[in-house]
């Protein structure tokens, strides 16, 4: 099959991990007789430096033409003082909105070899396997007005949602639960926020369409605590944009590192942008030590969700698992007695396993 993929490397470690994931996609293409062509475009700080715009028009147009998009990360200290329309993060928010990518899926699955790499106790983490379904194009991130007032002495951000925006992401949560363990945890702050009260009403309405799914409501503060004290109680967690942002970084601790958490940002027709949950990690950028596994696993999600290539996705996931069980890891993973590798070296190991697996198919 022939497919075109737009690569948006972005800033910091973004280009390093996207290059790794591209090599992995190439290995899969040659093992399975596909051809992928790639077009690389600027986003974030790199695009500000080159075009004075965190999302240049040609980048946006290329994404709209592509079969799928793979993004690294944006942001860094160089642009932190910029006005908000010239911040790297604005480019990411604009592309999500412009492509209509309202559903962000963040699977949190521990690899057995990394259970000891988490700062949490083995018995707490063992058996955890959950999916965070995060609303991605509404809420506080996009509400208007958002501005300083009174000569900078006061400020307003707006948390706004329409019923339709809530319904479609809540449905995504239920649909995801139906193909997993049929348990949905809806996370809100309904004891305080009007938006959460409406959210909870909609979850209750939708629950009637999914009688097989058990539903529970958990307030976000308690959810944050339960996620690291008893994570095995969760299957699918569905929540609004900012709660999902915060909870997913927290959940990455279960996997041993933020560098392990992939994500898919989807719209209803299956079109998607795939990105690791982590950021541009300016503290380690350019050193060749970034963990590329989250981006590789995001590429696996790309194959599964956008190209319907489940076998190929599994090839990547299995190769990552094999790499870890062979004792290879990156510096962010606190594995005892393993072999610590850089970004390129661990990528080569994953490629070896892809070739080995496909030769034995």
Q: Dig out the tokens for 23 from the structure.
A: 């090599």
CB atoms within 10 A of CB 50: 10
According to the 3-state scheme, what is the secondary structure of 10-73?
ECCCHHHHHHHHHHHHHHHHHHHCCEEEEEECCCCHHHHHHHCCCCCHHHHHHHHHCCEEEEEE
**C-alpha span between 340 and 349 (Å, rounded):** 12
CB atoms within 10 A of CB 218: 19
279 binds ligand NAD (CB under 6 A): yes
* Residues β-bridged to residue 340: 329
76 binds ligand NAD (CB under 6 A): yes
Query: By CB under 6 A, which span of 88-96, 198-206, 310-318, 329-337 interacts with ligand IPM?
Result: 88-96
113 binds ligand IPM (CB under 6 A): no
Can 332 be counted among the known catalytic residues?
A: no
109 in a labelled binding site? no
284 binds ligand NAD (CB under 6 A): yes
Task: Please state, in angstroms and as integers, the Cα–Cα distance from residue 110 to each residue in 23, 317, 360, following that order.
Answer: 24, 12, 26
281 binds ligand NAD (CB under 6 A): yes
Choosing from 26, 67, 129, 249, the catalytic residue is 249
Site residues (vs Mn ion, CB under 5 A): 245
Least distance between ligand IPM and beta carbon 138 (Å): 12
Task: Please state, in angstroms and as integers, the Cα–Cα distance from residue 138 to each residue in 6, 101, 159, following that order.
Answer: 24, 10, 8
Which residue, among 185, 277, 188, has the nearest Cα to 237 in the 3D structure?
185
Query: By CB under 6 A, which span of 96-104, 150-158, 166-174, 287-295 interacts with ligand NAD?
Result: 287-295
11 binds ligand IPM (CB under 6 A): no
CB 271 within 8 Å of CB 68: yes
Binds ligand IPM (CB under 6 A): choice among 105, 190, 277, 346? 277
- The H or E element that residue 156 is part of is strand 154-156
Choosing from 90, 245, 274, 305, the catalytic residue is 245
91 binds ligand NAD (CB under 6 A): no
129 in a labelled binding site? no
89 binds ligand NAD (CB under 6 A): yes
Angle between helices 293-307 and 343-359 (to 10 degrees): 40
CB 84 within 8 Å of CB 94: no
Query: By CB under 6 A, which span of 35-43, 46-54, 87-95, 281-289 interacts with ligand IPM?
Result: 87-95
Report the residue number, 295 or 323, with the smaller CB distance to Mn ion. Answer: 295
Binds ligand NAD (CB under 6 A): choice among 24, 136, 258, 346? 258
> Residues annotated as binding site for NAD(+)?
76-89, 279-291
Binding stretches for ligand NAD (CB under 6 A): 13, 17, 73-76, 89, 92, 258-259, 275, 278-284, 290-291, 294, 332
Give catalytic residues, as residue numbers: 141, 189, 221, 245, 249
Binding site for ligand IPM (CB under 6 A): 75, 89, 92-93, 245, 277, 279
């Amino acid at each position: 099959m022939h497919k075109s993929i737009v690569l948006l490397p972005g800033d910091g470690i973004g280009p390093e991990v996207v290059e790794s994931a591209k090599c992995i996609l190439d290995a899969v293409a040659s093992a399975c007789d596909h051809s992928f062509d790639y077009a690389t475009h600027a986003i974030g700080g790199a695009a500000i430096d080159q075009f004075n715009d965190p999302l240049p028009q040609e980048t946006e147009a290329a994404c709209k033409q592509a079969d799928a998009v793979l993004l690294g990360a944006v942001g860094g200290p160089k642009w932190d003082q910029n006005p908000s329309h010239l911040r790297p993060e604005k480019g990411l928010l604009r592309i999500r909105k412009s492509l209509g990518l309202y559903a962000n899926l963040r699977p949190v699955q521990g690899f057995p070899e990394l259970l000891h790499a988490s700062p949490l106790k083995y018995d707490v983490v063992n058996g955890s396997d959950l999916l965070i379904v995060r609303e991605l194009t509404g809420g506080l991130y996009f509400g208007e007005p958002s501005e300083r007032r009174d000569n900078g002495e006061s400020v307003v951000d707006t948390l706004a949602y329409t019923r339709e925006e809530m319904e479609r992401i809540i449905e995504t949560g239920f649909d995801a639960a139906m193909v997993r363990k049929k348990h949905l945890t809806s996370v809100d702050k309904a004891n305080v926020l009007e938006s959460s009260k409406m959210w909870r009403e909609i979850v209750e309405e939708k629950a009637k369409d999914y009688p097989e799914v058990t539903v529970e409501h958990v307030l976000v503060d308690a959810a944050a605590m339960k996620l690291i004290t008893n994570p095995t109680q969760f299957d699918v967690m569905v929540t609004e944009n900012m709660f999902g942002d915060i909870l997913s970084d927290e959940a990455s601790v279960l996997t041993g590192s933020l560098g392990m958490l992939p994500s898919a940002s989807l719209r209803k027709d299956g079109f998607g942008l795939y990105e690791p949950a982590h950021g541009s990690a300016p503290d380690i950028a350019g050193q060749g030590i970034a963990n590329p596994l989250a981006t590789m696993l995001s590429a696996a999600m790309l194959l599964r969700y956008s190209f319907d290539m489940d076998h190929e996705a599994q090839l990547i996931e299995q190769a990552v698992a094999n790499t870890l069980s062979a004792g290879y890891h990156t510096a962010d993973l606190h594995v005892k007695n393993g072999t610590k590798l850089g970004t390129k070296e661990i990528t080569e190991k994953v490629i070896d396993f892809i070739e080995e697996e496909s030769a034995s198919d």
